[in-house]
A and B are shown apart, each in its own frame.
Chain A
Amino acid sequence: MAYQAADSSFYAIANDSNGSAELISFSLSSPPFATEVASLAAGDLWRGGLALGSGGLFYAIGTDADTYIPWFFSINPKTGVTTSLFALGDGSLGYNGGLTYDPADGFFYALASGESESALQKIGLGGSVTTAQLLGLSGYQGGVAYDAASGNFFAVRTDADSYAYLEQIAPGNATPVSEVYGFWVYNNWGFWNSSLAFASDGGQTGETPEPVTSGMGGLALACFCGIALKRRHKA
């Protein structure tokens, strides 16, 4: 998932059960309804994440359903044109943990999983792919987001018992991975499909959100939790 401040909208990739995928957009006032922005190529599994790069282009990771080779794509939201740029390795790493962009260094960062552990991968638009940080654990499928304020990354990991955790990743630090205390959820389906993004709160955390529909109820509850945690953090 990615957030575009210019139109105050979130963008995400929705996969259906027939193998089709679309880039869709929605805002905080629009759930559960979303708008189709572009159709994505069939034959690829679009579960590697989505990020907004420079110049208004989105970038996504799609894995070839036949060869399991992950590819890096650009998506033009205005024209709907999707372009495959380069492969991300030989398929030994599964890119299903999310994608984010650091505008300061111009690199993309993705979470990939190997046989025993996941890794934060640094991706350049020229085709370079290097490991920025080994994570020691696996189960990162809930997305990753770069926090410009701290220079760190945040990701959702689900463990073998289906508990999901929000974790902070600080590449190069002595303790590169730490759990963000206060976020925890048990659900067998968990946080998945690489969907995590920082965004403006739209003023919603300054007031009490009122549930409008059952779908909005979850969002309102989440906002409540956010407020409570924020206040506790400040205290």
Chain B
Amino acid sequence: MARTFGLAATLLALLAGTAQADTILYGIGPDGSFPSR
């Protein structure tokens, strides 16, 4: 069964500075670009 998360949300992989090498922080966020600074 297909579901969406509100708007066209995308599962995003974030990086936590202290995360282990093989562990990533994931979040459900907006679709589209993912600017960083």
Q: Do A and B bind each other?
A: yes
Footprint of B on A, CB under 8 Å? 1, 3, 10, 12, 14-15, 22, 24, 26, 28, 31-36, 142-143, 145, 147, 149-150, 152, 154, 156, 164, 166, 168, 180-187, 189-193, 195-201, 204-205, 215, 218-219, 221-223, 225-226, 228-230, 233
Rounded to whole angstroms, the CA-CA distance of A186 and B11 in the bound complex is 16
Given known contacts A182-B36, A197-B25, is B16 in contact with A189 (CB within 8 Å)?
A: no
CB distance from A20 to the nearest CB of B (A): 11
Pick the contact of A226: B3, B24, B37 (CB < 8 A): B24
CB-nearest residue of chain A to B16: A154
A215 touches B5 (CB 8 A): no
CB-nearest residue of chain A to B30: A187
Enumerate 30 A-B pairs (CB-CB under 8 Å) in ascending A order: A10-B11, A12-B5, A12-B28, A34-B1, A34-B2, A142-B29, A143-B27, A143-B28, A150-B18, A156-B27, A164-B29, A168-B18, A180-B16, A180-B17, A184-B35, A185-B30, A189-B30, A191-B28, A195-B27, A195-B28, A196-B25, A197-B26, A198-B23, A198-B24, A218-B10, A218-B32, A218-B34, A222-B12, A223-B13, A226-B13
CB-nearest residue of chain A to B23: A198
B18 touches A199 (CB 8 A): no
CB distance from A91 to the nearest CB of B (A): 24
A36 touches B26 (CB 8 A): no
- Residues of the A chain whose Cβ atoms lie less than 8 Å from the Cβ of B33: 221
- Residues of the A chain whose Cβ atoms lie less than 8 Å from the Cβ of B17: 168, 180, 182, 233
Rounded to whole angstroms, the CA-CA distance of A126 and B34 in the bound complex is 41
CB distance from B16 to the nearest CB of A (A): 5
A147 touches B18 (CB 8 A): yes
CB distance from B15 to the nearest CB of A (A): 4
- Residues of the A chain whose Cβ atoms lie less than 8 Å from the Cβ of B29: 142, 164, 185, 187, 190-191, 195
A147 touches B30 (CB 8 A): no
Rounded to whole angstroms, the CA-CA distance of A18 and B11 in the bound complex is 23
- Residues of the A chain whose Cβ atoms lie less than 8 Å from the Cβ of B11: 10, 26, 28, 31, 218-219, 222
- Residues of the B chain whose Cβ atoms lie less than 8 Å from the Cβ of A229: 15, 36
Q: Which of A168, A180, A183 has the most CB of B within 10 A?
A: A183
A199 touches B15 (CB 8 A): no
- Residues of the B chain whose Cβ atoms lie less than 8 Å from the Cβ of A35: 1
Given known contacts A24-B3, A183-B15, A186-B35, is B27 in contact with A191 (CB within 8 Å)?
A: yes
